[in-house]
Amino acid sequence: MLNARALAATALLPLAANAQNQINMSTGISEAGAVITDLGAEIYGLHMLIFWICVAIGIGVFGVMLYSIYAHRKSKGVEPSQFHEHTGVEIAWTVVPFFILVLMAVPATSTLLEVYDNDDAEMSILVTGYQWKWKYEYLDADGENIAFFSNLATSQEQIYNTDTKGENYLLEVDEPLVIPVDTKVRFLITANDVIHSWWVPEIAVKRDAIPGFINEAWTRVLAEGVYRGQCTELCGAYHGFMPVEVHVVGQGEFNDWMAAKRGAAATDAALAATELPVDELMARGEDVYNASCLACHGANGEGGLGNAIAGSTIAMGGLDPHLNVIVNGVAGTAMQAFGAQLSDIDVAAVTTFQRNAFGNNTGDVVQASDVVSYKEG
Amino acid sequence: MGDHHHGPAKGLSRWLYTTNHKDIGTMYLWFSFAMFLLGGAFAMVIRAELFQPGMQLVEPGFFNQMTTLHGLVMVFGAIMPSFVGLANWLIPMMIGAPDMALPRMNNWSFWILPPAFLMLASTLLMEGGAPAFGWTFYAPLSTTYAPPSVTFFIFAIHILGVSSIMGSINIIATVMNMRAPGMTYMKMPLFVWTWLITAFLLVAVMPVLAGAVTMMLMDIHFGTSFFSAAGGGDPVLFQHIFWFFGHPEVYIIILPAFGVISQIIPAFSRKPLFGYASMVYATAGIAFLSFIVWAHHMYTVGMPVAGELFFMYATMLIAVPTGVKVFNWVTTMWRGAMTFETPMLFSIGFLVLFTIGGFTGLMLSIAPADFQYHDTYFVVAHFHYVMVAGAVFSMTAAVYFWLPKWTGRMYNETMGKVHFWVSFIGFNVTFFPQHFVGLAGMPRRIPDYALQFADFNMMSSIGAFIYGMSQLLFLYNVIAAIVSGEKVSDEKVWDGAEGLEWTLPSPAPYHTFETPPKLEKQPAY
């Protein structure tokens, strides 16, 4: 380890203070000593039980082997014995492991049944995996669903080593999932494109997000706090860059957050009905671009996984073809249909931005009403 | 003497047209070593990028191409062909047969491999890059969202499958029909037994893989929707089909390794293998179980709980026959008179590290705990303990063990021992810390990672460079032995070695056992 640290010190940029090197599974207990989820603590216990059984067997097997290597070597002048079978011993080491396995299977079965107990949830959240972000939709009995996307918040500068990496490097998002404490939350998990997997180690929930199918998982988090995880199924180029961040808050704080979300949705709807000045559109468009476009099209529109936007014939040509690409995506490529992901006002803003940034000086201004009329054909 | 004792043809045509099991075995072994170095080079790119957090050397998309090709090349190009090469060299000599039963097919099953891998490697130069969807190529990432080169990948997999099936049929035909008189099934060396069972596994599951890639081809080019829910298909179906092939596949890789270890440990313990019959039954038991455990790779896809329970119990059962094997090997060593030449060192290394891989396998079988392990570096550590320390270590042991018989020359023992210790340490420095980062929450197949994983990843990378370099020592040792190694005059190179191949001169002549041997010398298993 000294070696590794010495080498780390020679790196171009110092790493931020490292979190402690964790060497085992999340215990399901918070640093303050509170149980985070009962299930997480139970799974940790199961993990350690199997681990210690393996250690005990290992000590036996490796102990015999090491003793034999020490004592039964030719250089000690021993004569090799010629025994080569013993029915009793062979039956014993077939039967005894079988019973050890049964001992493991009993607690494993009961824990697994709990994992699958999705009944009696107090609220449901639809989690949808996209390349490369998560969408969270709070399902509401009155149909007033609240939905938003959760994008990686770590900057490209940190990823490409031109800026110091923050404490939660690659594990931070622009809009976290917020859930109330001590509430049974059911997750309905699916995907829009390829298979993803939604995982938060500390609350012990991992379930694949499969396009066209809906998986169920649940949690009841008992300790308020921030819990972080990542996508755990290879989902394309930026698989490593779609974290999960869950904020578990008190019921009151959750209600306030929900009210604020509803308010923001209403404001957006109102904005879409008005004409916004160019500078506001550009500012909003830049935010949307950074969250949704930058990963593939580059910080300066220079392209990357996607085509260049700077000087692009689409961004500088007619408005309808440009809106077509953004709203409907490009089939067979990683370019998604953002019409379903972004609000009309955001589509308008990012289109305006792309047509006037990176030297694309078309002077065009696109309003939400233009997007609405484009969508209506 | 007549025509029967002619030597090999001269020049390139010898290798191109050869039907000699020893020539073909040699070509398989060299080809697989070349692929081992190529797959290793991909691994070095992966470890170099993961040396520190942040993107340094490659782009994320290219990183995925590296992980994909590393897996495919190592599994299909390095490990599988190396054991087929070993089978070619050894099975006829071990059962007292003059050659393989189907020599022309033998030639063909080798010679279609290099073009297949050339095609697979060439995808790196294609527009859109090489396959980047992991060696498990889950749909729809490998279909709707795949780069155009996926079609070449599918064709390459088809060719590899054809090669494997031909090789397996050949082994089955040879073992069933060409054993020397008196060599009953229960007198066959264990290496022959494990390969016979492996060959049946291959014949059973390679067509399943071919089916999977054919369905992919149809989805991509002919408008079907086997793996697309939008057209009435199911992406999870792909995983079921893939792992119905993929789980037996891991035993295809490890069973011949079990066979090798079962030859080497008795030789250097100077004592017969303990529990020969139970070894055979355990191998057959593992092969049977391998067909009914595939979905333990898929605990998180959302199977019904009854399905999870079935696959969990069935998977746990594998520990029983595997345990029997480990106990038998240890008991073989017990009260022997051991020496520790390089083949024995690699075999003991195998025994220790494979057992650790078995323990983590048992942990992974526990479905609720697997929800935390699945698709993390814990899994990466687990399967490298069984694939590298299992299959590759045993293959290395085999090369050192039989090289004097093949070439009539001895490798440098000191260098061999250095190779072992550097490999052993390098391997553990690489993969042991991966258990920790995996448990701590690092997903596999990511090009960049959170800061708390930094120290262990750096260790892993340093270990990987050490392990990688140590293989060049191996290459040098083997070439030096062939060119200028000390000549071996004994038929029996190792004083504890048993079996028909050790009754032949060293080096083994081009044609052997043209008349079947008498079996008095067969060891009493």
Verify that A220 and A141 share a domain, yes or no: yes
Verify that A161 and A288 share a domain, yes or no: no
Please report residues of A whose CB lies closer than 8 A to that of B362.
50, 54
**CB-based contact, B307 to chain A, within 8 Å:** no
3-state per-residue secondary structure call for A223-235: CCEEEEEEECCCC
What is residue A272's predicted lDDT score, i.e. its pLDDT?
78
Verify that A263 and A283 share a domain, yes or no: no
Counting the structural domains of chain A, the total is 3
Please report residues of A whose CB lies closer than 8 A to that of B53.
15, 165, 169-170
> Is residue B142 helix, strand or coil?
coil
B372 φ, ψ (degrees, to nearest 5): -85, -30
CATH for B310: 1.20.210.10
What is the residue type of A182?
D
Taking the CA of residue A246 and the nearest CA in chain B, the distance in Å comes to 15
Domain ends where: A89, A115, A141? Answer: A115
> Is residue A187 helix, strand or coil?
strand
**Among B17, B37, B39, which residue's Cα sits nearest to residue B27?**
B17
**CB-based contact, B133 to chain A, within 8 Å:** yes
What is residue B4's predicted lDDT score, i.e. its pLDDT?
53
**CB-based contact, B135 to chain A, within 8 Å:** no
What angle do helix axes B190-221 and B235-269 make, rounded to 10 degrees? 160
Residue with tokens 């009841």: A220
**Among B525, B414, B392, which residue's Cα sits nearest to residue B477?**
B414
Inter-residue contact B251 to B201 (CB < 8 Å): yes
Please report residues of B whose CB lies closer than 8 A to that of A86.
274-275
What angle do helix axes B319-333 and A87-115 make, rounded to 10 degrees? 140
**Among A8, A103, A47, which residue's Cα sits nearest to residue B453?**
A8
CA distance B66 to B73: 10
Q: What share of chain B is helix, strand, coil (3-state, %, to 5)?
A: 70, 0, 25
pLDDT surpassing 70 at residue A9: no
Yes or no, beta carbons of B327 and A93 under 8 Å apart: yes
Q: What is each CA distance from B464 to B55, B183, B205, B458, in whole angstroms?
A: 19, 44, 32, 10
Pick the range with the lowest mean pLDDT from A7-11, A94-98, A150-154, B382-386. A7-11
pLDDT surpassing 50 at residue A3: no
Helix (H), strand (E) counts: chain B: 18, 2
> Is residue A29 helix, strand or coil?
strand
Please report residues of B whose CB lies closer than 8 A to that of A97.
319-320, 323
Half-sphere exposure (Cβ direction) of B213: Cα atoms closer than 13 Å: 22
Verify that A300 and A333 share a domain, yes or no: yes
pLDDT surpassing 50 at residue A13: no
Tell me if A154 is assigned to some domain. yes
CA distance A145 to A136: 10
Domain ends where: A60, A80, A115? Answer: A115
Tell me if B3 is assigned to some domain. no
The residue among B50, B133, B327, B377 with the most chain A CBs within 10 A of its CB, best to mutate, is B327
CA distance B268 to A357: 74
pLDDT band at A266 (very low <50, low <70, confident <90, very high): confident
Environment class of residue B9 by beta-carbon count within 10 Å: exposed (0-12), middle (13-18) or buried (19+)?
Answer: middle
Verify that A128 and A261 share a domain, yes or no: yes
List beta partners, residue A217: A187
Tell me if A339 is assigned to some domain. yes
What is residue B475's predicted lDDT score, i.e. its pLDDT?
97
C-alpha R_g of chain A:
28
Taking the CA of residue B114 and the nearest CA in chain A, the distance in Å comes to 29
Verify that A259 and A330 share a domain, yes or no: no
Domain ends where: A267, A301, A320? Answer: A267
CA distance A320 to A292: 20
Verify that A93 and A176 share a domain, yes or no: no
> What tokens were used for B373?
């392990």
Tell me if B515 is assigned to some domain. no
Inter-residue contact B376 to B456 (CB < 8 Å): no
CB nearest to A165's CB, from B53, B323, B462: B53
Tell me if A15 is assigned to some domain. no
Taking the CA of residue B448 and the nearest CA in chain A, the distance in Å comes to 6
Yes or no, beta carbons of A169 and B275 under 8 Å apart: no
What angle do helix axes A319-328 and A368-375 make, rounded to 10 degrees? 80
All residues at 6 or more sequence positions from A196 whose CB lies less than 8 Å from its CB, including other chains: A129, A130, A134, A208, A209, A231, A233, A235, A242
**CB-based contact, A89 to chain B, within 8 Å:** yes
CA distance B522 to B183: 9
List beta partners, residue A187: A125, A217
CB nearest to B300's CB, from A26, A47, A197: A197
What is residue B6's predicted lDDT score, i.e. its pLDDT?
64
Chain A residue with minimal CA distance to B278? A90
Verify that A147 and A258 share a domain, yes or no: yes
Please report residues of A whose CB lies closer than 8 A to that of B340.
69, 73
Is the torsion defined by CA of B204, B205, B209, B211 positive or negative? positive
> What tokens were used for A172?
């931070």
Taking the CA of residue B176 and the nearest CA in chain A, the distance in Å comes to 26
All residues at 6 or more sequence positions from B322 whose CB lies less than 8 Å from its CB, including other chains: B282, B286, B358
pLDDT per residue as tens digits for the range A271-282: 778 888 888 889
Verify that A88 and A136 share a domain, yes or no: no
% of residues, chain A, pLDDT over 70: 94
Verify that A286 and A159 share a domain, yes or no: no
What is residue A8's predicted lDDT score, i.e. its pLDDT?
43
- Residue B392 DSSP code: I
- Residue A240 DSSP code: G
Size of interface A-B (CB pairs under 8 A): 313
**Among A126, A40, A93, A115, which residue's Cα sits nearest to residue B282?**
A93
What domain range is A326 assigned to? 275-375
Tell me if B513 is assigned to some domain. no
Chain B residue with minimal CA distance to A157? B54
CA distance B236 to A288: 34
**CB-based contact, B344 to chain A, within 8 Å:** no
Tell me if B473 is assigned to some domain. yes
What is residue B523's predicted lDDT score, i.e. its pLDDT?
52
Yes or no, beta carbons of A201 and B324 under 8 Å apart: no
Yes or no, beta carbons of B236 and A213 under 8 Å apart: yes
pLDDT surpassing 50 at residue A15: no
Tell me if A31 is assigned to some domain. no
Inter-residue contact A73 to B336 (CB < 8 Å): no
Please report residues of B whose CB lies closer than 8 A to that of A48.
none
CB nearest to B316's CB, from A58, A105, A193: A105
Chain B residue with minimal CA distance to A69? B338
**Among B431, B340, B348, which residue's Cα sits nearest to residue B393?**
B348
Please report residues of B whose CB lies closer than 8 A to that of A64.
330, 334
Q: What share of chain A is helix, strand, coil (3-state, %, to 5)?
A: 45, 20, 40
Verify that A47 and A64 share a domain, yes or no: yes
Yes or no, beta carbons of A4 and B145 under 8 Å apart: no
Is the torsion defined by CA of B155, B157, B160, B162 positive or negative? negative
CATH for A208: 2.60.40.420
C-alpha R_g of chain B:
23
Chain B residue with minimal CA distance to A16? B451
Yes or no, beta carbons of A80 and B441 under 8 Å apart: no
pLDDT surpassing 70 at residue A1: no
**Chain A window 173-212: which residues touch B at a Cβ cutoff of 8 Å?**
193-195, 197, 199, 201, 204-208, 210-212
- As annotated, the active-site residues of B are 70, 99, 135, 163-164, 247, 249, 251, 262, 296-297, 322, 325, 444
**CB-based contact, B379 to chain A, within 8 Å:** no
Low-confidence ranges of chain B (pLDDT < 70): 1-6, 520-525
Verify that A248 and A368 share a domain, yes or no: no
List beta partners, residue B397: none
> Is residue B331 helix, strand or coil?
helix
Tell me if A6 is assigned to some domain. no
What is residue B1's predicted lDDT score, i.e. its pLDDT?
39
Beta strand residue intervals within B307-459, DSSP E: 409-410
Residue with tokens 């081809």: B217
Tell me if A33 is assigned to some domain. no
What pairing do the DSSP bridges indicate for beta strands A205-209 and A225-231? unpaired
Tell me if B108 is assigned to some domain. yes
**Among B480, B343, B456, B457, which residue's Cα sits nearest to residue B400?**
B343
Chain-centroid distance of CA A69 in Å reads 48
What is residue A16's predicted lDDT score, i.e. its pLDDT?
40
What is residue B272's predicted lDDT score, i.e. its pLDDT?
95
Inter-residue contact B488 to B409 (CB < 8 Å): yes
All residues at 6 or more sequence positions from B142 whose CB lies less than 8 Å from its CB, including other chains: B131, B133, B150, B216
pLDDT band at A134 (very low <50, low <70, confident <90, very high): very high
Counting the structural domains of chain B, the total is 1
pLDDT per residue as tens digits for the range A194-235: 999 999 999 999 999 999 999 999 999 999 999 999 999 999
Q: Count of CB atoms within 10 A of residue A118's CB?
A: 15
Chain-centroid distance of CA B386 in Å reads 10
What is residue B2's predicted lDDT score, i.e. its pLDDT?
43
Tell me if A196 is assigned to some domain. yes
Please report the DSSP string for A306-336 in residue order. S---TT-HHHHS-HHHHHHHHHH--TTSS--
What is residue B294's predicted lDDT score, i.e. its pLDDT?
96
Please report residues of B whose CB lies closer than 8 A to that of A68.
330, 333-336, 338
What domain range is B264 assigned to? 13-503
Taking the CA of residue A196 and the nearest CA in chain B, the distance in Å comes to 10
CATH for A338: 1.10.760.10
Inter-residue contact B47 to B465 (CB < 8 Å): yes
pLDDT per residue as tens digits for the range B75-99: 999 999 999 999 999 999 999 999 9
Tell me if B512 is assigned to some domain. no
Q: Count of CB atoms within 10 A of residue A262's CB?
A: 13
Please report residues of A whose CB lies closer than 8 A to that of B285.
none
